[in-house]
A and B are shown apart, each in its own frame.
Chain A
Amino acid sequence: QSALTQPASVSGSPGQSITISCTGTSSDIGSYNYVSWYQQFPGKAPKLIIFDVDNRPSGVSDRFSGSKSDNTASLAISGLQAEDEADYYCSSYTTSSTYVFGTGTTVTVL
């Protein structure tokens, strides 16, 4: 079970839109729509912000959106704000009945 691949860092100016990619295989992202995204601030537990590829839990800003194509999932953040500066992790259910996280992406607001 190799970790899903994410860029180490992504940055953008306030108001801009950014996208974080999450690349897996046909054994995880490519097989199921059980892709989730988590936001984590330093010293805090992760928080679910996207589930089942493109669904937002109640209370999560609609500036966050998710998508998937083949073995790659993506998280988009529109109207970037200073409060979005955090680490972001994707995850997926796998064909081995396990769970795998992405390598993580640090978002910096310039």
Chain B
Amino acid sequence: QLMESGGGVVQPGMSLRLSCEASGFSFSMHGMHWVRQAPGKGLEWLGVIAYGEDITYYADSMKARVTISRDNSKNTVYLQMTSLTDADTATYYCARDYFPVLGRIDSWGQGTPVTVSS
């Protein structure tokens, strides 16, 4: 099970930090992704962190503003995003990869909505 938290209303220009707590599987053995979906739009992959906490890959469009980290002792993965604009309004999902790094997203959290608005 994956449970995201930290969503809500954020002012333009501010930063956000989302958390995703995992349970029911060996968290430290899997890559963990963040994916977002703007209202009425498709899925957008943001990035992934490998099982070992020190390898990350990001979408080119997000590289400058996004940091993904994880704490395997807490079974938790984090997403930090800076300089938010209204284009960042979306539901943010964390998702598990079947592999230790990436290749196949096989399960998803329920998502946490983020609204960027003044």
Contact = CB atoms under 8 A, between A and B. Distances in A.
A91 interface: yes
A46 B43 contact: yes
A26 to B, nearest CB: 18
A45 B111 contact: yes
Contacts of A89: 42-43
Interface size class of A (residues with CB under 8 A): 20 to 34
Nearest to B61: A1
A24 interface: no
Given A1-B59, A34-B103, A36-B104, A101 B110 contact: no
B77 to A, nearest CB: 15
Contacts, number: 64
A100 B106 CA distance: 15
Contact of B45 (A40, A47, A100, A103): A100
Nearest to B109: A45
Contact of B108 (A46, A98, A103): A46
Contact of B33 (A3, A38, A99): A99
B108 A104 contact: no
